Amino acid sequence: WYADCFILNLCHPRLPKTFQPAADIARKLEEARKDPKINARIKTALERWAARQPQSTR
């Protein structure tokens, strides 16, 4: 589900143009990304998502 998170995936095609993440949620995300295991999972998910996208949406 990491790839579907608008805060993590700013290239998501369904991302609303006016999307602004809540400050407290963004702070929690930054804290979570300090954990190397979680950060690796996020990076892997986003890389896999990007690989499945057509070239025009990258």
List the chain domain ranges: 2-57
pLDDT tens for the 58 residues of the chain, in order: 788 887 888 788 888 888 888 899 889 989 999 999 999 999 999 899 888 888 765 5
In angstroms, what CA-CA distances link 40 with 5, 12, 20? 16, 19, 24
Confidence (pLDDT) at 56: 61
